[in-house]
Amino acid sequence: MDKKQDWTQPEPMWRKDADLPDFPALDKAEHTEVLIVGGGITGITTAYLLAKSGKKVILLESDQLLNGTTGHTTAKVTAQHGLIYEELVHHFGLEKATLYYQAQLHAHTLIERLIHDLEIDCNWTKEDAYLYSETKEGAQKLEKEYQAYQTLGIPGDLVDTLPFNQDISKALMMSHQARFHPIKYLTALVNEITRLGGKIYEGTEALKVKEGEQLLVTTNRGATVTCDQLVSCTHFPFYDGKGFYFSRMHAERSYLLAIEPERPAPDGMYLSIDEPKRSIRTAEHEGRTVLLIGGENHPTGEGRDTRFHYRALEEFAAETFGVKNVLFHWSAQDLTTLDKVPYIGPITRKNDRVFIATGYRKWGMTNGTLAAQLNHDYIMGEKSLFHEVFKPARFKADPSIKQFLAQNFDVSAHLVEGKLELVGNRPESLKKGEGGIIQWRGERAGAYKDEEGRLHVLDTTCTHMGCEVEWNSAEHTWDCPCHGSRFSYDGAVMEGPAKQPLLKIALSDTKDVDFVPTETEQTHEPSSDQP
């Protein structure tokens, strides 16, 4: 290794070598036919397809375009979504399992066609994808998945070896998949949106929706947008519409390294099915081939010190490929639905004006593109064979009831455990750049000491439904283990479903504590999502 890694400065490789345009914040009232909220692959592709079809569109992004999950992806364009097809055949039947696979092929073809038609230079490369296991139990699972491939007509094969230093029991190959540079690809679509007359605003968070003759959307800056139809392309829909999506999905974090390997990088894309999972693929950066090593999944707000996960990936990379240098490291957050199939379409059965797209289960390149196509078809009045499979209002008793009960039991456990937890350090024990749970006047609180020695003390009660947030040491955030809300070190909302910041605690008594006080105490209204 060239140097000791600083795991507290995550930076995705994709944004480093792309040239994204900047857009202003919305500061006045606007009207449009379709408002799209969320500037990732789903929102951008939706805006492009609708603008191409002649619709007037506005896209709002609360932060910067492509700075969310899309900017932190592994960017595999594949229909091999882990061990999914045998499960889909079992729970949904042959017809819907076939449609799921065909939908992923449709998304793959759409991406490839746009790259060709718009002449996008985004390192598009066709490669085979592999699932592999080191155990006999895993091999049996792969054999069952292969049987599903054969039943569904999916091209693939079982193999016994891989072209790198990894002993396996079995691997399952899906041929003719692809990888690319997601931001270079989507930057071209952004430029097309504006060329077609679409409007894009960054730094503009959509907060509320009032349904009347038209939809009225209020933003964080006080500006409003009226529209005929609305598409929410955010993680948890920013507007729930009584769909209760916070209780129908769970959030997981995963981690990624971009390394310069000592040994030659293998062709192909790889994902282990054993725990802890490992994802492997090559990429291009500054004219050289690098390896992306991912994995270490865990529920948001749970697990070990987050720096542990980066170190574990580095150790795996060193053992398997050798590591000359760790070039980048970053993490992402993904949502999984009750039945592992994304929610795409009308937010509720009777609402034909508000559409959502979420729950991609780490496979956002194809699912995000598919969601854009399906919601475009809804809005344009076009029927799709795939609408029924992905409609958000579906509820399949098996496995949805089991998952719903498990997820919400877990939420209840976190509510109780967090409130009973009294362990914590004294605030003066924190070093500069450190955060964690402390005892503040006999109660649980969260604190972060910045580089100037200023202490930021917060009530650790999540403003969504009252769970207790936990400190993420690698990214300096407060993460909620119940529904995946994330807050900055000073309490600002970074990811929903929470809409209100964490409550800041006034530091009026500095006696016996070595720190500089921060702001005075603030109050806020509870989140509208609270029951």
pLDDT in tens for each of the 531 residues of the chain?
A: 445 677 777 889 998 877 889 999 999 999 999 999 999 999 999 999 999 999 999 999 999 999 888 989 999 999 999 999 999 999 999 999 999 999 999 999 999 999 999 999 999 999 999 999 999 999 999 999 999 999 999 999 999 999 998 899 999 999 999 999 999 999 999 999 999 999 999 999 999 999 999 999 999 989 999 999 999 999 889 998 888 888 888 889 999 999 999 999 999 999 999 999 999 999 999 989 999 999 999 888 776 777 899 999 999 999 999 999 999 999 998 999 999 999 999 999 989 999 999 999 999 999 999 999 999 999 999 999 999 999 998 876 555 555 555 555 454 444 445 444 545 566 777 888 888 888 777 678 888 888 888 888 888 888 887 888 888 887 888 888 887 788 988 888 888 888 889 988 876 543 334 444 333 333 333 343 333
Is 348 contained in some domain? yes
Indicate the number of domains in the chain: 2
Asked if 435 and 371 sit in the same domain, the reply is no
Token duo for residue 388: 């029924």
Is 115 contained in some domain? no
With beta carbons less than 8 A apart as the criterion, state whether 246 and 236 touch: yes
Asked if 391 and 477 sit in the same domain, the reply is no
State which H helix or E strand residue 43 sits in: helix 41-52
Is 322 contained in some domain? no
Angle between helix 136-152 and 85-92 (nearest 10): 60
Asked if 413 and 513 sit in the same domain, the reply is yes
Put the strands of the sheet holding 455-458 in their side by side order. 434-440, 443-449, 455-458
- pLDDT of res. 528: 38
- The identity of residue 403, as a single letter, is Q
DSSP state of 357: E
Asked if 61 and 194 sit in the same domain, the reply is yes
Separation between Cα atoms, residue 359 and residue 339, nearest integer Å: 10
With beta carbons less than 8 A apart as the criterion, state whether 188 and 122 touch: yes
Separation between Cα atoms, residue 203 and residue 221, nearest integer Å: 9
Give the three-class secondary structure for 400: helix
Asked if 450 and 502 sit in the same domain, the reply is yes
Question: Could you list the residue range(s) of the whole structural domain that residue 52 is in?
Answer: 28-70+184-247+342-395
Is 106 contained in some domain? no
**344 bridge partner residues:** 357
Separation between Cα atoms, residue 142 and residue 491, nearest integer Å: 44
Asked if 233 and 200 sit in the same domain, the reply is yes
Query: 395, 415, 432: which is the final residue of a domain?
Result: 395
State which H helix or E strand residue 98 sits in: helix 94-117
- pLDDT of res. 442: 66
Q: In the chain, helix, strand, coil percent, each to 5?
A: 30, 30, 45
Compute the half-sphere exposure of residue 359: CA atoms within 13 Å on the CB side of its CA: 23
Is 521 contained in some domain? yes
Token duo for residue 510: 């500095």
Which residue in 286, 301, 285 sits closest to 462, CA to CA? 301
Separation between Cα atoms, residue 490 and residue 105, nearest integer Å: 43
- Total Cβ atoms within 10 A of residue 391: 16
Asked if 230 and 350 sit in the same domain, the reply is yes
Asked if 379 and 514 sit in the same domain, the reply is no
Dihedral of CA 438/441/445/449: which sign?
A: negative
Give the predicted TM-score (pTM) of the model: 0.83
Which residue in 464, 463, 461 sits closest to 444, CA to CA? 461
What does 246-270 look like in DSSP terms, one character per residue? Answer: GGSEEEEEEEEEEEEESSPPPSSEE
Query: 358, 375, 395: which is the final residue of a domain?
Result: 395
- Phi then psi for residue 36, to 5 deg, are -115, 125
Give the three-class secondary structure for 294: strand
Question: Which distant-in-sequence residues (6+ apart) come within 8 Å of 141 by Cβ?
Answer: 83, 133, 273
Separation between Cα atoms, residue 491 and residue 507, nearest integer Å: 15
93 Rama class: left (phi>0) / alpha (psi -120 to 50) / beta: left
Query: 366, 395, 424: which is the final residue of a domain?
Result: 395
- Total Cβ atoms within 10 A of residue 214: 14
Is 513 contained in some domain? yes
- pLDDT of res. 398: 59
Q: What is the CATH number of the domain that holds 229?
A: 3.50.50.60
Is 130 contained in some domain? no
Question: Is the peptide bond prior to 276 cis by the omega test (within 30 degrees of 0)?
Answer: yes
Separation between Cα atoms, residue 245 and residue 236, nearest integer Å: 7
- The identity of residue 179, as a single letter, is R
Distance of CA 382 to CAs 104, 376, 378, Å?
19, 8, 6
Asked if 485 and 496 sit in the same domain, the reply is yes
Token duo for residue 531: 């029951």
With beta carbons less than 8 A apart as the criterion, state whether 339 and 392 touch: no
Asked if 435 and 513 sit in the same domain, the reply is yes
Asked if 495 and 388 sit in the same domain, the reply is no
- pLDDT of res. 420: 46
Q: What is the CATH number of the domain that holds 406?
A: 2.102.10.10
Separation between Cα atoms, residue 198 and residue 60, nearest integer Å: 11
Burial class (CB in 10 A: 0-12, 13-18, 19+), 221: middle
Token duo for residue 83: 């061990």
Separation between Cα atoms, residue 492 and residue 503, nearest integer Å: 9
Is 450 contained in some domain? yes
Asked if 400 and 506 sit in the same domain, the reply is yes
